[in-house]
Structure 1
Amino acid sequence: MGLCGSRPVGCVGGRLVPAGKRNRRRRRRSIKRRTSSLKLDSSSVHNRPQSTPTCAGRGSVDAAWFDSTSVLDSEFDDEFYSFRDDEVSTESENGKGSEAVELNNCGLLPNTCLPYLAAGPSVEKKRQINQGAPNLRRKASSKLSFKLKEGHNDPTTFSPRAPLQRPIAGTSVPHCPLEKRMPNCWSPIDPSVFKVRGKNYFRDKKKEFARNCAAYYPIGADVFLSQRKVDHIARFVELPAINPAGDVPSILVVNVQVPLYPATIFQGENDGEGMSVVMYFKLSESYSKELPSSFQEHFTKLINDEVERVRGFPLDSIVPLRERLKIIGRAANVEDLHLSAAERKLMNAYNEKPVLSRPQHEFYLGEKYFEIDLDMHRFSYISRKGFESFIDRLKLCILDFGLTIQGNKAEDLPEHMLCCIRLNEIDYSTYKSLGI
């Protein structure tokens, strides 16, 4: 036929070329142009068009990029988990995440991965990327804090210490048998482990073990953290439904308010960060049978906030009977507390020594319960300072706690226990706050 002068499509050098060969030649020319441009300018990696097929393995650029953020994934996985999910979905919707998607694509040939040798960053560049990881963390944390301030997320979903909203009483501290030593739990104990004023105390000043009966027996315990001390805490928990028995409340709630801030000499500030150790007791079924009538009478007057005449010189005085409420605390495992010689001497002198709760107490009478709040925030400086040095050892201590009504007359003796409980190695840092 002769030569093709006009070189129509399909003619090369005056002869026809099949369509398949033409496409392969064009593809080879495009590959050469791309690889040459990659060698000349490494920045073209970020500007190349997207390719649909993904790579089975990552090249050097992929490894360098993921190394720069691996610190965030390993050290701050819990903190940034929700943040990353939100950001990735937002960026992909806005088209900002194209670079991250591009790093997972080949961009050259379908179903083929070629290494980007010339486009990979140098050793110095990798060092700069790794050094910039803290800046990435700071930027990510600032974005997270900004989102929280803006109100886009609920802070309670991020914090494991979300306040408890009207919890069931006694659910935070579990019960364990007395013979098993388990941390962060409570156990019932016999009232006879405490020493109280005996029948002849006013003559021989001797104390003896209490009778093995009490007005109330433990049914649960809670520990709540708070920024300020919580008064009348029974309002914020769900107490068990127990039918009242006579004129005496069926449930006794004891709320010990413990400060967790440093003690100061001047008592101008008696409120702040602390915890509430709350103990719940149920009225004994044999209350009216085992306890003497004098004790029952005094306890009824204490509930009703009645007063009594106290002999004194030069004049008698009228005082509330509630001022006779007495606290007994006893560390049952002194040998496990790792005390120094001076601390051991103080512990032996004051361990199980009764203390009148006045005037650092408050009383609240509900429909089926009677609450006693013992405010350690208002204790003396010496008492608070001593407890402050002991607070870190509380998680090692087996503490027996009890209440009694002090006998001021011979007819009031012997003293009887109002309630008692054992708290086993309470670590207050593991507990939550109470929603108010």
Structure 2
Amino acid sequence: MKHTASFLVPLSAVILLSLLMAFGCNRTIDSTDPVRTLPDAPSTPINVSATLDTQSVTLSWEVPDTAVVKRFRIYLTDSSGANARLRDSTMGVSFSQTLTGLALNQTVYFRVATVGREGIEGLRSTPPLRVRVAPMSILIENGNIYTNRRNVTIQVNAPSGAADIKLSENEDLAGAVFQPFSSQMSFTLSDGDGVKLVFAQLVFDDGTQTGVPLVDGITLDTRARIDTVYFRPPSTIFTSGSAIDFRLRSGETGGTARISFPGENGVALYDDGSGIDSTANDGVYAARYIVPLAMTVKDGQVTGLFTDAAGNQAPARTAYSLLNIEPVNQPPTAVVLAGNSDSTGAHLTWSQNGDSDFAMYRLYRSTDTTRAVDTTSQLVAILNTQSTTSYDDAVLRSYPALAYRIYVFDQLGRATPSNKVVVIR
């Protein structure tokens, strides 16, 4: 006799399956065993909120009953909550998730659903959470490196909808209170010079807020100083054309420095590694000064002046040594003149003058070769280039002979004559 196996199905299960087939269900069931009782759907997430950063958003939520939670799923939807697309899911029972890769300056909506231990997904949170990821930042004093005032202005770059802000020098913003948002906020830095960091947290009109605090830094510098002012070589009587090396040591970089003494109101010094400044940005400012003509300084006081990068002016400081400069009393050095002739005229040459205060050559001639040639004689040429050492004079073709002399002039107007030369045609 052939036996046929049979199973008894409870009537309640048959009715439940019939209803499911007739009306459908938005829950997922991992098991297909119709005998088992359908588990209850897990709790729907509530109090869904977001914290914003410049390139990410962290969603947080709660559930009334955590006992059956396996994980959570996060959906992108439209503003009505429809057209849901799975965006992410937690690895386990975590009540927050950070999402990256979101498009900037675009509004998106999120809903969160609980997945129970039986694999059933519950209802998604409502209403959809509106989030807009946008660049955010703060700048102290428009991004300046230094300030000499404790009261500063903070520029806040935030998307529309920012409602409140709190500022603090504490990274956890402990003790700070929210105040109405403005893109220009006033803030008082703590006392004492040094680097100051300011942190900010924003709250938006939809309840979202920033996560990691926005931050910017600035150096508070309320005073400047000059350590020492000096020149080299010391204890020297300088003359016209002498080189004097001035230095000012402040210990601060990025400032402007100068020295003054009788006859000079502002010789700029530099800390850029150029000239006699051997090391850039070491707080020592230096420059080489060439003494001009006719300068006289008797026991002059050399004063250093300094303004730091924050705009603070240091008290003036004087050099320990006194400055003495005497003008050069020697007249210009004479040159040696020579001449010859050919069919084109006279050809004159002379040795080059090497004085540092050279001004010009002046060439004179006379048709009377028996008399002296001086500055009252006929002026032939004015030559301003020190390296010029020759001149051709075609006038000789009209005379049997001409007498010449060249004078060297310095910048004080003093002149020294050369020897007299007679050139025969």
| Greater Cα radius of gyration, structure 1 or 2 | 2
Q: Which has the higher helix share?
A: 1
More strand per residue: 1 or 2? 2
> TM-score when scaled to structure 2?
0.24
Identify which of structures 1 and 2 has the higher relative contact order when contacts are C-alpha pairs closer than 8 Å and 6+ apart.
Answer: 1
